[in-house]
Structure 1
Amino acid sequence: MAGSPNSNLRGFNHAVQTLLKQPSQFLPHLTIPTFTHLPEDLGPHLVKNCQTQSDNLNSKPTTPQRIPKIRALVLDKDNTLCPPKTTTFPPQILTKLSHLRTSPTSPFNLTTNPYAILIVSNRAGSHPTYDTEVHSLETQLSHLRIPVFRLPEGTEKKPFCGDEVVKWFKERGVVESPNEIAVVGDRLGTDVIMAGMMGSWSVWCKEGVFEVGEEGKKGRNVLEKMEVWIERFLRERKGCVAPVPKGWEE
């Protein structure tokens, strides 16, 4: 595993470089308030959002050639599934996870697709310091069979561990291509950028783990405020559109 449990300076620098050189990579394919709003059938929503953004910029509507089939979910932990630096799942999050794993129509059903969901965190699973978090998360989710990704030795944290995550799903026969994966998280600079580097789709949980006005919701920190402002600026003022995954249009 990576040496320092807390340092992700290279990730921050990469986010800044991406923003300067490829700003559209900072934008998610789909924005939802919280994880509880995640559609069960994601594909149509991903391309619909891309199409809407493109149509707003062009007089001639664009129609995606096909709809992605999402077979796997990469889920962030902090401020997506749990309040930051905790392993406490709000009841509504557990209800949503249970639905995704037990609904007969869900592509992530644990019976038909047992390895479809993987938690990838820059805390739990990233360093031995957080082994107690891994144990807590996997114990609570044992009935849903949702594991935490262990960062391989010598591999860096998000957004640089995408290849290893794709490999994890491929080895278990879940996906054949990265564009069958959706990365869901609250951070543009890690979760969304990692999805782009992987060749996958991205879903941004804009409000984090709690809805606006919900008890327990805290104010955004400086980086979170910056990301919200940057996303709006790129989309509304610069007219940027989230690019489809590499190879998707081929």
Structure 2
Amino acid sequence: MQIALLGYGKMGKTIEKLAIERGHQIILTVDKGQNDFDISKADVAIDFSIPDAAVNNIITCLRNNVPVISGTTGWLEHYDEMVDLCNQKDGAFIYASNFSLGVNIFFELNTQLAKMMKQLSQYNVSMEEIHHTQKLDAPSGTAISLAEGIIENSNYTDWVLDAEEDEKIPIKAVRTPDVPGTHTVSYTSHVDTIDIKHTAHNRQGFALGAIIAAEWIIGKKGVFSMKDVLNIA
């Protein structure tokens, strides 16, 4: 594949290294502040930019008939618009809050646990996410996805950041140097606590998952998720 990398920070450079090792070619890298670039020769684009750039990057790809994989978080108020544009242009688009294969298994464990805990009102759920200090959004997109998985399968109505409110899932966001990403979901009663936790050791898991998604989407049309890529029912 000929890949365009939209966002050339630490994640972009990790994707570049792994993609080349898998036999792909990087034909374009777009760094922060670059708004004018030619995407047309790419087979696929992988976007790990910043929230302010992501929407424009996705629009550019879809208007040029280039499938786009987006792992940038913090822009999801525009997600439905991007879905509509993808459908209008008969394009191909995958957004994931986290492309790590392990995290996507973790999402499924989280959903199943939420279903099991729904009737056990003595347990209160809470979440903590820990990331590096360069992460611009809080809570993380992964934490929001976890919260949404609980809300869809429980009596909780929403999530709240660094606070506690009735019927809302409290999410604590911690920023500390050199942490790729740790997410913990806890169900606590007065007698015990049940935790499920995912700890990323480095960025390679996120990068590899994005490349696998890019390989998978070639030749397809529509809006997909990592469930489609991994064939998770």
Shorter-chain TM range is under 0.3
TM-score (norm 2): 0.27
The structure with more strand, counted as a fraction of residues: 2
Which of the pair has the greater relative contact order for Cα pairs under 8 Å at 6+ separation? Answer: 1
TM-score (norm 1): 0.26
Larger radius of gyration: 2
